[in-house]
Amino acid sequence: MDVVMYEVHVKGFSKLLPGVPEELRGSYAGLAHPTSIAHFKRLGVTTLSLLPVHYCIDEPHLAERGLHNYWGYNTLGFFCPDPRWAKAEHRNDPTAVTAEFRQMVNALHAAGLEVVLDVVYNHTPEGNEFGPTLSFRGLDNITWYRLAADDKGRYENLTGCGNTVRCSQPRVAQFVLDSLRYWVADMGVDGFRFDLAPVLGRTRQGYDSNAAFFTALRQDPVLAGVHLIAEPWDAAYDGYQVGRFPGRFLEWNDKFRDAVRGYWLGAGAGVGRGEFARRFMASSDVFHHGQRLPTASVNFVAVHDGFTLADLTSYSTKHNQANGEDNRDGRDGELAANFGAEGPTDDAAVNATRQRVRHALLATLLLAQGTPMLCAGDEIANSQGGNNNAYCQDNATTWLNWEQADFRMTELVAQLLALRASEPLLRHPRWFASGPGDACIAWYAPSGHEMTPHDWHDAGQRAFGAQLREAGASAPRLMIVFNPDAEPLPFLLCNGPWQLVLDSSGESAAPLVLAGQPLNVPARSLLVLRHP
């Protein structure tokens, strides 16, 4: 199955969703309501990646400000679904909360949808050595936490959260595996996305892809068939481990995010054709080793952490004042562009440009090789008002705004995923090659010739195209053309004829283009053509 992931918050998705009864909105039951399921099926996604649903508590600094940890990355109960996301009548009854969660999973499965949980085994809410004693610190501090080598009274902080769980300790590893098995065997989930995943493989010598925890995970029969997805970085000096996870792991690929943003948004000098092409083809320079496949690259443009897709094209800087940290929190350097106005505007030209770029970003994400991941709300142009770290905003900032939804985006996502499903070359299970008999890709300049080394290094030219050929075929099957520039351009096509099947800008008709004829490629657009 071609996995198409959809990262979603249980509450935020349905809290304001028309068609879901008021008493179910924002709950596990609301996420599995027929109205919610109809939206997922309309899009064509296959796998819901839920933000943390383990029992979570608020950090002291949030409680002091009257805020709450909405995202949930502060787990205290590793075998318990968070009662906050159950129906109001169930929240004080753990048995009812658990039953509602199971019913949600069953309903989603019945609709053909998988459920993946975002899990946090890298730290606990006990903070640093001055934090509260809530669980493991009071039970067996030296077993559960990584302590400084030169001072056992201090914690190693490889997570940015004050402490680091000692996953290399056998009893700790057993606890984590027991938790994972419980959520699969008893609750029915289909996989896990591991927050700050390098912590799982840390030994005293640093990160080790052959660490004992990974070996135990690989050998566990209950976990043998589930999705394993890594956030492949933590806060250690060697924290960036993209491409270095073992076996079945898929990995969030921030190189894809930055290249795609830089190419279409033109941040700084913009991203060149070579870097963009590598990321579009599943980052073989990162993942093509051992037995790993293109699907190892989890491609994304926006996720919960950072700007939404709409805000990425509406704000040049973050606006996190509501978080109470004087706008110091959140990621700088989002590679964003506002196209002439910061935030909402009545300028029709600015809004048209924003929409065009959003469409190109979505098309790139959903047609690239690898495993695509869409962030909930991006398919309706949902905004968080420029807040790129809304972890503590359990309010209209993070609840999807269905009243102002841009359903043109929804239709585009559905069209793109239908095209992806119908064309095996857009979800190829193996790496493209250049040998005879292999599925191949060839890159073309707008003048119609194959890209040369000079073309790849020409920073002044950014438009180009790719022809994809099936294994053993004498002619290419698909052509994808990219034009990130602000003006349309003629693109000379070879190996035709070609039938235009998708224009992300919505400008083009669908003519038959013969070989040797120029095709007018609209500004800031991605085109897909098929050999008739």
Q: Which residues partner with 467 through β-bridges?
A: 442, 479
Backbone angles phi and psi of 48, in degrees to 5:
-90, 125
Question: Which of these is catalytic: 100, 126, 129, 195?
Answer: 195
Confirm whether 154 is domain-assigned.
no
Confirm whether 363 is domain-assigned.
yes
What does the pLDDT look like over 311-364, one tens digit per residue? 999 999 999 999 999 999 999 989 999 999 999 999 999 999 999 999 999 999
Q: Is 438 a catalytic residue?
A: no
Last residue of a domain, one of 406, 426, 446: 426
Number of domains in the chain: 2
Q: Is 231 a catalytic residue?
A: yes
Name the CA dihedral angle for 132, 136, 141, 142, rounded to a multiple of 10 degrees. -150
Tokens standing for residue 319? 């606006």
DSSP letter (8 states) at residue 165: B
Greatest C-alpha distance within the chain: 74
Tokens standing for residue 276? 């963009």
Last residue of a domain, one of 410, 426, 442: 426
The confidence score (pLDDT) of residue 438 equals: 64
Same domain, 336 and 460: no
Confirm whether 289 is domain-assigned.
yes
Domain enclosing residue 474, as ranges = 432-530
Last residue of a domain, one of 426, 444, 467: 426
Same domain, 467 and 363: no
Q: How far is 251 from 233, CA to CA, in rounded Å? A: 10
Q: Is 26 left (phi over 0), alpha (psi -120 to 50) or beta?
A: left
Asked if 498 and 479 count as a contact pair (C-beta separation under 8 A), the reply is: yes
Asked if 509 and 528 count as a contact pair (C-beta separation under 8 A), the reply is: no
Asked if 17 and 402 count as a contact pair (C-beta separation under 8 A), the reply is: yes
Q: Does the pTM of the predicted model rise above 0.85?
A: yes
In Å, how far from its chain's centre is CA 384? 17
Same domain, 374 and 291: yes
pLDDT band at residue 472, thresholds of 50, 70 and 90?
Answer: confident
Same domain, 337 and 456: no
What does the pLDDT look like over 371-396, one tens digit per residue? 999 999 999 999 999 999 999 999 99
Same domain, 255 and 362: yes
DSSP letter (8 states) at residue 233: B
Read off the CATH number of the domain in which 193 is found: 3.20.20.80
Same domain, 261 and 291: yes
Question: Which of these is catalytic: 100, 126, 129, 231?
Answer: 231
What does the pLDDT look like over 185-223, one tens digit per residue? 999 999 999 999 999 999 999 999 999 999 999 999 999
